[in-house]
Amino acid sequence: MESQFKSSEEIYQPSQEQSLEEIRETLPDAGEVIKLGEKAAETADAQISADIKQAEILQKQLGEQVQPVIEQMQELKQELQEEKAAFEARVERLNSPYVLSPDLAKVLQVSRVLKRPLLLEGEPGTGKTSLAYALAGNENLPIIHAQCKSTTTAQELLYTFDVVQRLQDAQLGKDITDPKKYVRFGPLGRALSSQEQVILLIDEVDKAKRDFSNDLLHELDQMSFFVTETGEEIAAKHRPIVIITSNHERDLPEPVLRRCIYDYIEFPSPEQMTEIVKAHIPDVSEKLLQSAIQRFYEIRQVEGLEKKPSTSEMLDWIKVLREFGVEEVGSDTPYSETLLKYKEDIEKILGVQPDEHEALRQARMPESVIAAIEGEKVVRIKGDTSYDYNDPDHQVYTLLANDGYTFTTFDRYEKRPFEIQAEGVKRVDNLTFAMSKDSPLYHRLKEQGLVEVELEVSDQPINFAEVEESNELYIKGRDQKGQTIYKTKDGKIIYERRVIESEG
């Protein structure tokens, strides 16, 4: 069953004799073309779905004989859906505006005068692929897009011979004497066999195997190839406009470079980016645009990013900012997930650094000591040591209650730890809390003489009287007075200072 869905090129094809003005006058409205394509797709999809249902009814009567037919129809339905998606993506790209720099326009002109492939290199997001689509839309030429992968071969780009289908046809008693029926042209094969000029985009050629581009030297040079199974030579009646793109993940062979017109597309400048955004989003406010562009280029200048944001991400970001009512961008980078694609990049840009003390935690350094290293005030409050060191002095309860703090009392039977629920206060051990330096609770506890021990961090050496534990990250021991001491590998000394004794 032949698909009823047609691409935009098949719906309308201008003759070569027409002038550009005549072509423009006779062009149908783009919206009507899209509607025609969508209607054709819906009609074909409905017909195939109806045929599948009919075949399933027949299957109940004829058994497994109908199963191959059902599978063929399902494959056709899948093919139709893929073709429809490709059509919609193509329409969107062909209608998308493109800001062409003077330098790139000159290189494009040179390529066309010399009739050589244009090889465009540059980082992702600089508009290499978009240029081919913009050219196709501007000149009303069909575009054939060959997307290279690590498994792509030159032979697939030219044609494949469907041996399996031919074998199945032979088993069913069909006529297989004409081998041309089983030749399936690839993107380059379709471009060279086309009855009119087309644009051939060989995208991300550096992703394919190294020999891939070398294997196409003759075909790109002579614009012809042989089909071995039929003995037929396919030669281009109209030399296709060939655009090859590369993200420069690796160097291309010298013979390929020699046959191409080369250009490296630099990332757009802020001025060019302003033009690009205005072309795609004409009604964007100047205040939002300029502040977003400034922040965008600040982010791109940050060293060590896994992936710098590209033009497409900039356009998406502007759309999101407008949608959520952001009028101006500051240094906080709202909706950064639109721009940044790696956790490490988000942490770097937003100032959220990975936990540098995670290694100390893995080495089982107490959380109280780590909190002191991180600059917090770590205190152990007075407690009732007669029964359990987790029971605070009742003066602590009174102070917390009078000052309006929420807390949980110690329970001897459930072993529920004493906790203080307050902003900037974190329990790190029995009766031991880490607090910010400006915490009102820290100062209140000290005023009332309820802080028993405070952890201090110093660069001054303290002698160990006893070593209890040693590893590559820190040493733990005691001083002459029996107070606990930690020494890190970078020379920091963390020790306990008994506040009540020293202040007394």
Q: What is the pLDDT of residues 160-175, one digit of tens each?
A: 999 888 888 888 888 8
The listed range with the strongest mean pLDDT (77-86, 205-214, 240-249) is: 240-249
pLDDT for 2: 35
Q: Are strands 241-246 and 232-235 parallel, antiparallel or unpaired?
A: unpaired
Higher-pLDDT residue of 180 and 50 is: 180
Its pTM stands at 0.53
The overall average pLDDT reported for the chain is 80
Q: In 3-state terms, what secondary structure has residue 107? A: helix
What percent of the chain stands above pLDDT 90?
Answer: 23
pLDDT level of residue 188 (50, 70, 90 thresholds): very high
Report d(CA 40, CA 465) in Å as an integer.
Answer: 88
Stated as kind and residue range, the H or E segment containing 381 is strand 377-381
Stated as kind and residue range, the H or E segment containing 361 is helix 358-362
pLDDT level of residue 415 (50, 70, 90 thresholds): low
Q: In the predicted model, is pLDDT for residue 21 greater than 60?
A: no
Q: In the predicted model, is pLDDT for residue 81 greater than 60?
A: yes
Q: In the predicted model, is pLDDT for residue 292 greater than 90?
A: yes
Higher-pLDDT residue of 59 and 499 is: 499
Higher-pLDDT residue of 339 and 330 is: 339
* DSSP bridge partners of 381: 451
pLDDT for 44: 65
What percent of the chain stands above pLDDT 70?
Answer: 76
Q: In the predicted model, is pLDDT for residue 29 greater than 50?
A: no
Question: pLDDT (tens digit, 9 = 90+) per residue, 452-464?
Answer: 889 999 888 888 8
pLDDT for 9: 34
pLDDT for 296: 92
Q: Are strands 118-121 and 261-264 parallel, antiparallel or unpaired?
A: parallel
pLDDT level of residue 438 (50, 70, 90 thresholds): confident
Q: In the predicted model, is pLDDT for residue 73 greater than 70?
A: no
Q: In the predicted model, is pLDDT for residue 200 greater than 90?
A: yes
pLDDT for 359: 80
Residue 141 near residue 158, CB atoms below 8 Å: no
The CA–CA distances, whole Å, from 492 to 436, 475, 479 equal: 20, 11, 15
